[in-house]
Structure 1
Amino acid sequence: MIQIGVLLTRQYRLLSLAAVLDVFETVNRFYSESDKPKPYHISLLYLESDSQKITNPYLDYPTESIQTSDVKSLIVIPSFNTDDIKPAIGANYEFIPWLVQQFKDGAEIATVCTGAFLLGATGLLNGKIATTHVDACQAFASAFPEVDLKADKTVTRDGRLYTSGGATSSFHLLLHLIQRHCGKEMAVRVAKVFAIDMDRDKQSYFSTFQPTRNHNDDLVAIAQQKIEANYHDTGTIEELIKDIPASRRNIVRRFKQVTGITPIEYLQQTRIEAAKKLLVQTGQQMTEVIVNSGYSDPKAFRKVFRKSVGMTPSEYREKFHVK
């Protein structure tokens, strides 16, 4: 029997926890209906200092503190219910050495969405591939530069470490685990129950460019304002920031240090985000969308759009256009 431990972290997102429990219990139910032993035994794990707060609202699931828990076959870290991840990691710091020891003792570890931040804090992901919620990727890359972040992926596996992208990507992670543990036939059966598209392996088209403005660098702030106000002009980045009283090299260095990307990348992402909104919210012809988002070369626009979003502009409009 596969021993699964699901962490009751501080500030976990209830939806991600419920999804994990529901999917694994569905597999157990299918086995029971066929008079076969259940493949999964699920425990909910908490910090000893939180023992008075654990009321076990999850019916028959046993709960145990990590201080008394045995080695698990698989540990699942749910996503956090906050966008302010740094203090959330601090609040859950006691889990970190325990996770490291569990991994050393042979456990697999899987993370749902922003739960990857807690795994990243252990150092176990250094030099390995990972993903997280598409809109949290910039913060993750900044916090854990030694991790090979695959921002467009819905699921990654590197040895005994698994990560998933945002929200519904957790179902793809669970299907991947079920297929490894119980075979493809069971994974397909579960996919049908939860109406999961098993072929989706990218999440980039769900992303929204959300540039950081929580900094105190006035020069970078000026550059951001100029780009955002004039992105629809077809000029170069040098033309857009030429009036800023600093050398190009200095601007680029400080800009990347603050935002995590270069001014050119910032301009590109601002333009692509504008194009996405025009495709979804207006009926403009494709040539109008291209020009109004700051491009003069349709071929270059389509190439950049596909690389950034993961599909063509026409496919994006078809998928998300507000009728």
Structure 2
Amino acid sequence: MKNIAILLTEQYKLLSVAAILDVFETANKFHTEKGMDAPYSLSVLNLGDTKDVVFGAYEAKSIRAEESYDLILIPAFTTDDIKNAVSKNAAFIPWLIKQYQQSAEIATVCTGAFLLGATGLLDGKVATTHVDASKAFAQAFPFVKLMADKTVTQDGKLYTSGGATSSFHLLLHLLQNHCGKEMAIKAAKIFAIDMDRHNQSYFSSFQPIRHHNDEIVASAQEKIETKYQDVATIEEMIRDIPSSRRNIVRRFKQVIGITPIEYLQQTRIEAAKKLLEQTTQQMTEVIYNSGYNDPKAFRKVFRKTVGMTPTEYRDKFKAR
């Protein structure tokens, strides 16, 4: 029997905890109904400062109890201020490191990867997180091999998953590792999970940084966002900005994290996604109205950015 701990971090997302408990409880039920021993012993843990009770069935234990675990799961955070959330949960970090050194596996759901990243255990290893939090994760943990498009990653004893429903793919992966593929397939059917989804990039949305104090960069952003359909080159967009192209590009990359040409591409692809979702425009109209003249170039950039073709994207997300 594997001894599993689910951390009740400060600002944890209740949905994450519910999914973890539900899937592992279901695995236990499958086994006991067949007269076999339950494969998992489930506990919820906090820092010991409060008496948390989850769903009326699990009373939290303290990490100070010095118990060892085979698998520790870190749920997602509810807050948009991940840096602050990690700071509030800093007391978990030495405990996580110690458990890992004692052979525990550690798995994270969505933005829970930030707490694992703060331990340093992910340095040099692959990981993923919510696709829209990937940029912040990469900046915070530059030594982690971030695979932002992946639904689930495993590197040795460390597991991470993408946003929201990707947590179920992580849990299926763990079930398959611990109990075999038959168990994972049964759980997939119970929870209606498509086991073959390995990519999450098509769930992303372009969310550029806007809260900064660089007026030149803000001006360049505005030019790109208002003229992306009509202007062929970055030079045309920024020619009225009182600064050299080299200075604008340098400052833009420093503040926003990508170059102006990458920003233009992201803006155009986001416009194309909205047209595919919300209109009945022909593909040639979508291509033209999102600022592209070359259908081949558009399809290449779209697939690279989104992870599927424009037609596949429309089929998946078109409002009926």
- TM-score, normalised to structure 2, is 0.98
The answer to whether the 8 Å contact 1:226/1:241 transfers is yes
CA displacement at 1:62 relative to structure 2: 4.8
* Number of residue pairs aligned between Structure 1 and Structure 2: 320
Does residue 275 in structure 1 map to residue 272 in structure 2?
yes
Equivalence for 2:215: 218
The answer to whether the 8 Å contact 2:128/2:148 transfers is yes
Deviation readout 1:219-256 (Å, 9 max, x if unpaired)? 11111111111111241122211222222222222111
CA–CA separation in structure 2 for the residues paired with 1:55 and 1:123: 28
CA displacement at 1:85 relative to structure 2: 0.8
The answer to whether the 8 Å contact 1:234/1:296 transfers is no
Equivalence for 2:26: 26
Larger displacement relative to structure 2 (278-287 or 141-150) = 141-150
Residue 162 of structure 1 is aligned with which of 137, 140, 159? 159
Equivalence for 2:296: 299
Equivalence for 2:3: 3
AA paired with 1:92?
N
SS state at 1:289 partner: helix
Query: Superposed, which structure 2 residues align to 1:172-211 within 5 Å?
Result: 172-211=169-208
AA paired with 2:172?
L
Equivalence for 1:143: 140
SS state at 2:103 partner: coil
CA–CA separation in structure 1 for the residues paired with 2:124 and 2:86: 20
Report sequence identity in percent.
69
The answer to whether the 8 Å contact 1:12/1:78 transfers is yes
SS state at 2:219 partner: helix
CA–CA separation in structure 1 for the residues paired with 2:169 and 2:255: 34
CA–CA separation in structure 1 for the residues paired with 2:170 and 2:195: 10
AA paired with 2:218?
A
Residue 106 of structure 1 is aligned with which of 99, 103, 106? 103
SS state at 2:106 partner: strand
Does residue 129 in structure 1 map to residue 123 in structure 2?
no
Equivalence for 2:287: 290
CA–CA separation in structure 2 for the residues paired with 1:123 and 1:250: 35
Equivalence for 2:263: 266
CA–CA separation in structure 2 for the residues paired with 1:123 and 1:253: 30
CA–CA separation in structure 2 for the residues paired with 1:114 and 1:290: 34
The answer to whether the 8 Å contact 1:42/1:62 transfers is no
The answer to whether the 8 Å contact 1:279/1:321 transfers is yes
CA–CA separation in structure 2 for the residues paired with 1:300 and 1:234: 16
SS state at 1:67 partner: helix
- List, as ranges, runs of 4+ consecutive aligned residues in structure 1 with deviation greater than 6 Å: none
SS state at 1:44 partner: strand
Query: Superposed, which structure 2 residues align to 1:72-111 within 5 Å?
Result: 72-111=69-108
AA paired with 2:76?
S
CA–CA separation in structure 1 for the residues paired with 2:244 and 2:156: 45
The answer to whether the 8 Å contact 2:231/2:237 transfers is no
The answer to whether the 8 Å contact 2:277/2:319 transfers is yes
- TM-score, normalised to structure 1, is 0.97
Structure 1, unmatched stretches of 5+, are: none
Larger displacement relative to structure 2 (177-186 or 129-138) = 129-138
Deviation readout 1:239-297 (Å, 9 max, x if unpaired)? 21122222222222211111111111111000000000001111111111111101010
AA paired with 1:315?
E
Structure 2, unmatched stretches of 5+, are: none
AA paired with 2:248?
I
SS state at 1:38 partner: coil
Deviation readout 1:147-192 (Å, 9 max, x if unpaired)? 1111111001111111000000000000000000000000000000
CA–CA separation in structure 2 for the residues paired with 1:74 and 1:29: 19
CA–CA separation in structure 1 for the residues paired with 2:153 and 2:211: 30
AA paired with 2:288?
V
AA paired with 2:92?
F
CA–CA separation in structure 2 for the residues paired with 1:220 and 1:320: 33
Does residue 42 in structure 1 map to residue 39 in structure 2?
no
AA paired with 2:271?
A
Change (3 A) 1:102 1:7: same
CA–CA separation in structure 2 for the residues paired with 1:279 and 1:234: 22
